[in-house]
Amino acid sequence: MEGEGFSPPPLSANKPFTGTKPLATPRKKKKKNNNRRFTDEQLRSLESMFKLETKLEPRKKLQLARELGLQPRQVAIWFQNRRARWKSKQIEQEYRVLKANYDKLNSQFESLKKEKQTLLVQLQKLNDRLKQPHDRGQGSKDSEGNSTDAGSDNEDTNCEFKVKPSCSSEALEYGAVMYSDDDERGSTRCLAQEEELELLNLGRQVDGSLVPPEKWCNLDSGGLPDHSCGTSNWWDFWT
């Protein structure tokens, strides 16, 4: 009970009411809710007090009520209702912030997903190429008779990447390797050799054999990171 020992406020006590006529007869059986707005002046005072403190001390409440010509109970009720409104605004605001954060994260996630997909396509192509050398035993020399078989000398990778003149001289100077990229963008990429090797090793088991793509922790599933992956938590995907 909202008891301050007051009986319902005597209507006549609210002299500053906005001038609407007092209800001669209550429309409904229940409370003669005499619901008249407070004056602008009253609201201004109440609002400015609310800015200072959202909960009124009893003494201040009495003082404010006296100043505004209201019942202390009316002031208390106004503060209660005002707190309720303030709280729901707060909740709305928090919701907006949370939603904005979520949307931002979600779009980051989507673009990372796309990037991952692109990299997987690349990886798949690289692995396909690694499998090709078997068919290429006799025919991988160009017209000048240069052997382009990267594995012909010492490597066990059978890497067939060719250095192309289109790669910038700086890139070449720093050991960049060029390969044609026939993905949908049709672009040509330059990768530093270390990155290249890293990618190649991704699909390779300890013994050097290739891991079948389907065992790459479902990386190519296209959906959310797979829970069955080595790491126990899906969010480890991000780290």
Q: Which residues bind DNA (CB under 7 A)?
A: 1-5, 8-9, 14, 18, 20, 23, 26-38, 43, 55-56, 58, 61, 73-74, 76-85, 87
Cβ proximity to DNA: between 3 and 208 the closer is 3
- Residue closer to DNA by CB (options 77, 199) is 77
Find out whether 32 and 26 touch, Cβ atoms under 8 Å: yes
Closest approach of DNA to the CB of residue 14, in Å = 6
Residue number with CB closer to DNA (42 or 127): 42
| Closest distance to DNA from the beta carbon of 74 (Å) | 4
Closest CA to 168 of 199, 190, 137, 198: 190
- Between 4 and 103, CB nearer to DNA: 4
Q: How far is the CB of 52 from DNA (least distance, A)?
A: 14
* Least distance in angstroms from the C-beta of 15 to DNA: 12
Cβ at position 102, least distance to DNA in Å: 24
Minimum Å gap between C-beta 213 and DNA is 53
Nearer to DNA, 16 or 212 (CB): 16
Cβ-based nearer residue to DNA, 19 or 137: 19
